[in-house]
Amino acid sequence: MAEYQSVRTAGVGARTAQIDEGLRAYMNKVYGLMSVAMVLTGAVAWAVGTNEMLLAAVFGSPVKWLVMFAPLVMVFAFGAMINKMSAAAAQLFFYAFAAAMGLSISYIFAVYTGVSIAQTFFVTAIAFAGTSLYGYTTKRDLSGWGRFLMMGVIGLLVAMIVNLFLGSPAIMFAVSSLGVLIFAALTAYDTQRLKNDYIQHAQYGDQEWLEKSAIMGALSLYINFINMFMFLLQFLGQRE
């Protein structure tokens, strides 16, 4: 009986160690995909934003509305098509989305100084790392945050669209303040969700699902980072 218990304990311990190792590899892939997307976004934004001719062609005509809303349309399209796409196609689509996002925010290089953009990016990276680490390590269940945070995101979108016509500095300040808090909380929430999803599905060994899940996870964290950065830029950015 004692030998059976020892074998059983050893088996459970080996299985736990295997899941932990797989989880680390999975999260490394999520952060790796996100990092490549961030580099792509930054490269496109810098290339267009520092070229007056390209910037005028994009934002000096009605094309700017297509450029501004294209990433939002692509996100919804990605969510609708992900189950029918291969992992390779999903990854390619993710990078295309990152490039489109870079184009849509390229105007910041004409509005803010390069130094303040770099400083804001650094601050955002620290805040993101801290909240993501909290979501990964905390024993507190954050699943209850999801519904309220999504309601907050919808509220932010509505307020931002309304303020496009009003141009109110007070509304923009309120939106930016709430935006930083909401997307910081979403970073912690999404990190814990990804961790829990992997642990629940790892036992099935569905490699295709795991690859697509890593891409969708990278997309979620990428969106959180970009939004935190853009909202923080309202406070930390020094205008040209």
Q: Nearest Cα to 131, choosing from 62, 189, 80, 76?
A: 189
pLDDT for 126-158, tens place per residue?
999 999 999 999 999 998 888 889 898 888 888
Buried-exposed string 157-176: b where 16+ CB fall within 10 A, e elsewhere: eebeeebeeeeeeeebeebb
Buried-exposed string 8-44: b where 16+ CB fall within 10 A, e elsewhere: eeeeeeeeeeeeeeebeebbebbbebbebbbebbeeb
Q: Phi then psi for 64, rounded to 5 degrees?
A: -60, -35
pLDDT of 4 over the 50 cut: no
pLDDT for 169-222, tens place per residue?
888 888 888 999 999 999 999 999 999 888 887 666 667 778 888 999 999 999
How high is the pLDDT of residue 8? 44
Sign of the Cα pseudo-torsion (78, 231, 144, 210, in order): positive
pLDDT of 1 over the 80 cut: no
How high is the pLDDT of residue 159? 86
Does 238 or 1 have the greater pLDDT score?
A: 238
How high is the pLDDT of residue 11? 44
Query: How many CB atoms sit inside 10 A of residue 128's CB?
Result: 20
Instruction: Give the model's confidence band at 57: pLDDT under 50 very low, under 70 low, under 90 confident, else very high.
Output: confident
Cα gap 205→214, rounded to integer Å? 14
Q: With pLDDT > 90 as the criterion, what percentage of the chain qualifies?
A: 45
Token readout for 226 is 């970009």
pLDDT for 7-54, tens place per residue?
344 444 445 666 678 888 899 999 999 999 999 999 999 999 888 888
Instruction: Give the model's confidence band at 93: pLDDT under 50 very low, under 70 low, under 90 confident, else very high.
Output: very high
Does 75 or 6 have the greater pLDDT score?
A: 75
How high is the pLDDT of residue 12? 46
